[in-house]
Amino acid sequence: MKFLTDPLLQIQEYNEALNSIKNYTMPVGINGPADSQKVHISYSILSHTGYRGLFITFNEMQARKMYDDFSCFLGDDVVFFPSKEVMMHDVEAKSNDAAFQRIEALGRIIEGNWKVIVTSAEAVAQKLVPLEQFKSNFIKMGLGDRINIDEFTQKLISMGYERVAVVEGKGQFSIRGGIIDVFSIDSEQAARIELFDDEIDSMRSFDIRSQRSIERLDSVRIIPAREAIYPAEKRADIMRHIKEDLKEYTEKARKSGAEHLKQIKSKIEADIDRIESDYYFPGIDRYIPYIIDNPSFIADYAPDAVIFMDEPARFAERVDNILLEHHEICRNLMEKGQILPKSFEIYYDADSLKGKLEKGRMVYLNTMPLENKRLKESKSYSIPAKSVTSYQGHLELLIEDIKAWKAKKSSIVILSGPGGRGKRLSESLMEKEIEAPYVEELPEDIQQGQILITHGSLNKGFEYPSVGIVVISDREVFGQDRRSRKGSSKKSGVKLKTFTDLNIGDYVVHQAHGIGQYVGMQKLVVDNVKRDYLKIKYQDGGYLYIPTNQMDLIQKYIGAEGKTPRLNKLGGTDWAKTKKKVKESLQELAGELVKLYAQRQAVKGFAFSKDTVWQKQFEEMFPYEETEDQLKCIEEIKADMEAPRPMDRLLCGDVGYGKTEVAIRAIFKAVMDGKQVAYLVPTTILAQQHYNNFRERMKEFPVTVEVISRFRTQAEQKRIIKGLKAGSIDVLVGTHKLLQKDIQFKNLGLLVVDEEQRFGVTHKEKLKSLKTNVDVLTLTATPIPRTLHMSLIGIRDISVIEDPPEERYPVQTYVMEYNPDVIRDAINRELARGGQVFYLYNRVRSIQLKATEIQNLVPDARIGVAHGQMDEKQLEDTMFSFLNKEFDILVCTTIIESGLDMPNVNTIIVEDADKLGLAQLYQIRGRVGRSNRLAYAYITYKKDKALSEVAEKRLQAIKEFTELGSGFKIAMRDLEIRGAGNLLGPEQHGHMESVGYDMYCKLLDEAVRELKGEPLREEDEELSIDINVSAYIDDEYISAEDQKIDMYKRIASIQDEDDVMDVEDELMDRYGDIPEPVRNLIQIAYLKALAKTCGFISVQEKNDAVILQYKAGVHVDLGLLSALMDKYKRRILFTASSAPYITFRISDVKRQDLLENIKILLQDIIKLKCKQ
């Protein structure tokens, strides 16, 4: 991109500035450039000097913008160094995503593969561990290296890694015998290191979802998982310094008669104990000054970089404010006896930072020249520069300016953002006789007066009038806020799947015996053979022992969260009756669905045309990259619309997964064929948001969008109704007002319904009359589980968006005891950055008192209240006022509208979180973090010694929920169940709870198959295998019970040789060489599958024979028996009775060959069966 930088060399002041930087004697000031132009000038200086750069902005938000701009010029050679969240209060757990991003950035900086670091005043003010100390904690390993496991474990713990049973996320490690799994926080995948004695024998990357290896590695690098790290030998020093300061402080405080002496002594001593036992704990930030005794800062990590400071006066002001806020928090905690005076020293002040920074090559960037007495005197240069006007999508204004620039022989580059918008813009300009070709890569040189269009994004365009360079950003051309770049997300979202984690106390469903409670695994020795059994408790104290090779007969019971199912009685009739009742109800439901489906197939509808050129143009204007699921759903919907029958499709996807964009494309397609569209939503605010969104998206096309709701005057409503009848309105967005009698469409072609389950019965009846022969698309935010989706194929058209959008900025989550100080700090911080706060308080009776309490906590804040007992109008008005920023905090119940887009709300505080369901918490947390700011969630609970067992379990899960790990899975499963209720109707919810989710899906599948005349899957009979060999998983091989159960379940589901090899590969990969009893277990599972195919119901060793028993009354092929006896001679004997059986003599078979011999016999029977 030389032509973007070299013309600046024609500017005398720029050249002088360059020379001053090269021959550095004092800071250099550059005045004139604004916004993205500061980035361009910095990039040009670095290109012309060959230096690297450290670019410091006055706040975090500005830093993110500048990072995006640098990425346009330098691609991946830019590192964003974020600020660290300092938590002075006690928290139970907190999410690490933001901290990991910062440490990962430090790792990259040390590695040296960067050209520019972009950071903020907040990040620079935070003290860092010295470079060499941080670097010394990197671990690099190669094949053949030797490892002392105890020392290695200690090293990882001192680096901030957490030891777990199974590695499921970054910053974790596990050790199983000679296999070490570790997930370095800067890696795409976790690493598995296998030792032979103490030598590294092999290294592989592995997938944390499947736990299977991916590829071999030659080396592994592990960087620290914490910033303030310290070696084990330094721990005693840290504790000694804290004790000395505590002693000194308490003596001073005693003399002055301070009241908090008792608290501070017990508090600090408790913290010292935690340092001794845990190394790190969530509130350790307050001891950073003790851990980092010789602090460093970011410029020390990039010693030769040119330091660019964006608006130095604002930088100094921001650092002053950071210090002010921190000291305020510290003073408050000091008064309560929570911290020592040294905790004040976590940040640098502005003057000491200035002194440190001015030791390097310093460049001050100011839009306007400013006198600042706090800064060292600088040589100042003014560079003539201008910002570009925004055209807001008005092509004629852009063309006017282009003509004026061309007349001055200026060279023009237009950035068109992602997608194909650039090519379309090029064509539009060509039609106006302006030659502006689209190029994938910019050339090294550009002619005077030439115009080029290319992909790329900047926050703001700019012009250098004196040298004739103009750069126009996509934002100016298209008038849309530029969206976050879709860089490869380090954290891929978790797709919905079935979860089999079984813990003691969980409820299970046995196919034959019903609902019981799992109480643990027990090793029993029967006939000198050792095996593991699952012990299941039933009603009236009955116990069932299930051999682990029959685990496929049980499923974990999944019902609504927090509800306890009723246990069945062993040998009772309740379970059979319940199953029968549910099945009858499902047969009725499936019958209705099949009938409805057949009716719709028979009705003739409108077949829409194939996509138009405009459709393609419209879709290219979408500012994000679509997910694969979005594209798949769009194709399915278009195929339905183009078919001659009316569409009736359900589109499922969680909040923020991009359902609206899929719907918009269907709407646009309908309008292109001259049809009208009705978009029905449950609330007025949603109607307004969709209306604004649709208008913005369609403004470049001749599409008329209107909204009808109570916010429209009578006159406006009359005008809309008239326009609708006349056909002048193409798209009408509305609440249930859209269903009024007087609303008549001239030519309705598509009806889109958002969250149909939220409309009442009368509205649904009116909907039915609208639906007769128009295409219908229904949207729902509750995920539909795959098992249910599969059962309904062919009786309900469903499209599912399972791919979560990539999370660029994760929500910083804290789980903690309720603490008013933390709440005040959190609110003040959000309001200070111009944001708003959700305060979730789920008790209507005392919600006004709570609002008053918060008002006393933050007197300057404007507070609103919203709950479900307000009338609809009042509730909507409150939400609308909040949306329009008329107040800062909304104290509300769980009523907060999930579909609403409130990008300015980026802090959510949840009180009494232990009383909320995990799924609710997951959805609530999803309501913040929808903009380019870091969002915060404070999940709080009251300290209560007598927490119920359910609440305690839930709290534990909430702590895990700070990472999107197991808590996320539970939440998703609960949401799936709700989704099933929404899809099939509330009465089905009760049935699902009575038999559990998996059994319900199985019964539904059977009901649908019966109706469609398809063969039913054979009911699994309890095929028992009883061979006198030890078959179990030893504790020494797999010690964690949950992993053991998971592996038993995997083995029990073996069906063929491929499954055997797959299970053996996984065991070898994760746990090492397979012991004999585990090999026997795998063989027996395979024998079971073979025996089932042959039609046997039991395989039993008796004396010197193996008895293979058929089902009672079964017909056995005589030809097969004859062929078998020909092959095996006297070793085979057939007994014909009401329950026939084959006797296989094994007296001459060696014990170790027994299972292999039975396998060969069963395989022979299957081959002979196939020949008959």
The per-residue pLDDT for range 1156-1167, each reduced to its tens digit, is 999 999 999 998
Q: Are residues 358 and 335 part of one domain?
A: yes
Q: Taking 90 as the threshold, does the pLDDT of residue 50 lie above it?
A: yes
- Which pTM value belongs to this model? 0.81
596 part of a folded domain: no
pLDDT of residue 1011: 78
Determine, yes or no, domain membership for 238. Answer: no
Which CATH number does the domain housing residue 1070 bear?
A: 3.90.1150.50
Query: Does 979 reside within a domain?
Result: no
Query: Is residue 1145 one of the residues assigned to a domain?
Result: yes
Q: Is the pLDDT of residue 492 over 60?
A: no
Task: Answer yes or no: do 935 and 822 share one domain.
Answer: yes
CATH code for the domain of 338: 3.40.50.300
Q: What is the CATH number of the domain that holds 214?
A: 3.30.2060.10
Residue found under tokens 């069966």: 1169
Calculate mean pLDDT across residues 114-123: 95
Amino acid, res. 6 = D
Residue 972 has pLDDT above 60, yes or no: no
Quick one: pLDDT at residue 780? 81
- Average pLDDT value over all residues in the chain: 85
**Strand bridging mode 1105-1110 / 1096-1102:** antiparallel
pLDDT value for 187: 93
Q: Is the per-residue pLDDT at 498 higher than 50?
A: no
Q: Which position has the token pair 């887009």?
A: 901
Residue 485 pLDDT? 38
Domain identity same for 457 and 442 = yes
Whether residues 516 and 474 share a domain: the answer is no
Kindly state whether residues 208 and 64 are assigned to the same domain.
Answer: no
Name the band, by pLDDT with cuts 50, 70 and 90, for residue 577: very high
Distance CA 1124, CA 1133 (A): 10
Whichever domain contains 471, its CATH number is: 3.40.50
Q: Does the pLDDT value for residue 700 go beyond 60?
A: yes
Nearest to 568 by CA among 535, 540, 605: 540
Distances (CA, A) of 687 to 77, 663, 694, 710, 983: 43, 14, 10, 10, 23
pLDDT tens digit sequence for 144-199? 999 999 999 999 998 999 998 889 889 999 999 899 999 999 999 999 999 999 99
First-to-final CA distance of the chain: 75
Q: Tell me, yes or no, whether 1166 and 1041 share the same domain.
A: yes
Tokens of 589: 């439901």
Exposed/middle/buried for residue 1036 (C-beta within 10 Å: 0-12, 13-18, 19+): exposed
The CA–CA distances, whole Å, from 301 to 116, 139, 184, 247 equal 12, 19, 21, 36
Over the stretch 822-860, which tens digit does the pLDDT of each residue have? 999 999 989 988 999 999 999 999 999 999 999 999 999
- Is residue 614 domain-shared with residue 708, that is, in the same domain? yes
Q: What's the pLDDT band for 481 if we cut at 50, 70, 90?
A: low
Domain with 679, as residue range(s), is 603-798
Q: Half-sphere exposure of 47 toward its Cβ, with a 13 Å CA cutoff?
A: 18
How does pLDDT run across 918-957, given as a tens digit for each residue?
A: 767 777 887 787 777 788 999 898 876 556 666 676 667 6
CATH number for the domain including 536? Answer: 2.40.10.170
Q: How confident is the model at residue 790 (pLDDT cuts 50, 70, 90)?
A: low
Residue 970: band (very low, low, confident or very high) from pLDDT cuts 50, 70, 90: low
The reported pLDDT for the residue numbered 898 is: 59
Question: From CA 513, how far away is CA 1061, in angstroms rounded?
Answer: 32
Among residues 755, 771, 798, the one where a domain terminates is: 798
**Does residue 1010 belong to any structural domain of this protein?**
yes
Residue 508: is its pLDDT beyond 60? yes
Q: Tell me the average pLDDT across 1054-1083.
A: 92
Tokens describing residue 825: 């700090």
Which of 980, 1005, 1020 is the endpoint of a domain? Answer: 1020
Give Rg (Cα) of the chain: 34
pLDDT band at 1119 (very low <50, low <70, confident <90, very high): confident
More confident residue, 242 or 809: 242
Residue 984 located in a structural domain:
no
**pLDDT attached to residue 344:** 93
Confidence of residue 482 (pLDDT cuts 50, 70, 90): very low
B/e letters for 411-421, b = 16+ CB within 10 Å, e = fewer, are: bbbbbbbbbeb
Statement to judge: residues 393 and 378 lie in one domain: no
Q: Is residue 669 part of a domain?
A: yes
What does the pLDDT read at residue 680? 92
User: How confident is the model at residue 652, as a pLDDT?
Assistant: 84
Mean of pLDDT values over 350-369 = 86
Rounded Cα distance between 664 and 947, Å, is: 48
Burial of 321 (0-12, 13-18, 19+ CB in 10 A): middle
Per-residue pLDDT band at 985 (split at 50, 70, 90): low
CB distance 632 to 589 below 8 Å: no
Range with top average pLDDT, 263-267, 1075-1079, 1168-1172: 1075-1079
Query: Percent of the chain, pLDDT > 90?
Result: 38
Residue 517, pLDDT above cutoff 50: yes
Q: What is the reported pLDDT for 943?
A: 73
Confidence of residue 488 (pLDDT cuts 50, 70, 90): very low
- Asked, for residue 230, whether it belongs to a domain, the answer is no
282-294 pLDDT tens trace: 788 899 999 988 8
Among 266-280, 581-595, 774-788, 1011-1025, which is the least confidently predicted range?
1011-1025
Residues 144 and 125 in one domain: no
Q: For 1049, phi and psi rounded to 5 degrees?
A: -65, -40
Instruction: Note whether 326 and 463 are same-domain residues.
Output: no
Residues 745 and 719 in one domain: yes
Band (pLDDT 50/70/90 cuts) for residue 38 is very high
Domain total of the chain: 7
Question: Vertex 843, ends 842 and 845: CA angle to 5°?
Answer: 155
pLDDT score for 262 = 75
Two structure tokens written together for 150? 């105890």
Cβ-contact 57, 63 below 8 angstroms: yes
Question: Among residues 458, 478, 498, which one ends one of the domains?
Answer: 478
Residues 151 and 118 in one domain: no
